Amino acid sequence: MYNANKWLTLSLLLLLIPKVSFGIDQPPFVCGLSNGYPPYQFKSIEGETLGIDAQLLTLIFNQADLQVTFVQDDWVNILSFLSFTKQLDCVGGMEVTKERQERFDFTSPIYFRKIAIFTLENNSSVNSLTDLMGKKLSGDMHSSIEQKLKHENLRQQIRVVHSLTKSDAMKRLISGEVDAMIAPLAVGQYLAKVNGVKIKIILTSDYLSPVAIAVKKGNTQLLNQLERSIQTLKDNNKIELIKQQWL
């Protein structure tokens, strides 16, 4: 009788213990990526998510024992989804700027990249930044170089237009619709090679731009989970190994 009561009491106590939910039991987090920003984030012809940022996100979430799925769209739409809807939990591979920090919370930088303004090599009318005055430049909203143009009082004298993707910006550059474009150096070089054109660099950023994962403002739980994962992967040099596969 004593043993029966003992096991009954133990069973009741076990029922009162809250269940622990591990990452594998959680619904996948949804992270946004651009569909035309190679080699960092893009789609294959078959629609597969590819690029440095896609690989790094998968690695970081796996390290945190969390599941992740991707939504890809034009970059402007991806930013809007994270800002104004519940469709996304995070955006990968985002350049950290002061303006964006007002809208999102960021992990520490995962890596750094050089941003550049470039044009076609055979464009003899554009050889310096001042040559772009009165001309069209395809750029990113709130990019570090666009901020540099403002600081040098050139932003109002250069017509900055925003393309849906960097692939689209390159097509506009080749067709002559724009005179130059802003992009990470690796993106410009990649797209030039894919499109069979040669480019020349007009300006590079004064410093390497930090790139991180952005989450919704106030989502400290996810931010902290990702941060711990990033630090572990940095210590193991796994992030650098993935970069070296692409660059």
**Domain match, 108 and 217 both:** yes
**Domain match, 85 and 53 both:** yes
Quote the strand ranges of 35-147, DSSP E: 36-37, 41-43, 49-50, 68-73, 90-95, 104-106, 111-113, 115-120, 136-138
**Domain match, 30 and 105 both:** yes
The model's pLDDT over 24-38, given as tens digits with 9 standing for 90+, comes to: 567 899 999 999 899
pLDDT at site 142: 64
Q: How far apart are CA 117 and CA 62, in angstroms?
A: 35
The model's pLDDT over 199-228, given as tens digits with 9 standing for 90+, comes to: 999 988 878 999 999 999 999 999 999 999
- 175 within some domain: yes
- 19 within some domain: no
Q: Are strands 209-216 and 90-95 parallel, antiparallel or unpaired?
A: antiparallel
pLDDT at 11 over 90: no
The closest alpha carbon to 39, from 56, 25, 27, 18, belongs to: 56
The model's pLDDT over 149-168, given as tens digits with 9 standing for 90+, comes to: 777 777 778 888 988 889 99
Domains held by the chain: number: 2
Q: Can you give the pTM of this predicted structure? A: 0.80
Q: How far apart are CA 39 and CA 49, in angstroms?
A: 11
**Domain match, 130 and 171 both:** yes
**Domain match, 221 and 105 both:** yes
- 94 within some domain: yes
Residue range 77-95: average pLDDT? 96
**Domain match, 234 and 180 both:** no
Full residue range of the structural domain in which residue 179 is found = 115-204
**Domain match, 99 and 158 both:** no
Residue range 38-48: average pLDDT? 93
Q: Are strands 90-95 and 29-34 parallel, antiparallel or unpaired?
A: parallel
**Domain match, 84 and 143 both:** no
Q: What CATH number is given to the structural domain containing 183?
A: 3.40.190.10
- 132 within some domain: yes
**Domain match, 95 and 106 both:** yes
**Domain match, 125 and 195 both:** yes
**Domain match, 176 and 60 both:** no
pLDDT at site 152: 72
The model's pLDDT over 133-153, given as tens digits with 9 standing for 90+, comes to: 999 999 876 667 777 777 777
Does 174 or 203 have the greater pLDDT score?
174
pLDDT at 55 over 50: yes
pLDDT at site 240: 94
**Domain match, 133 and 156 both:** yes
Mapped onto helix, strand or coil, the DSSP state of residue 96 is coil
- 164 within some domain: yes
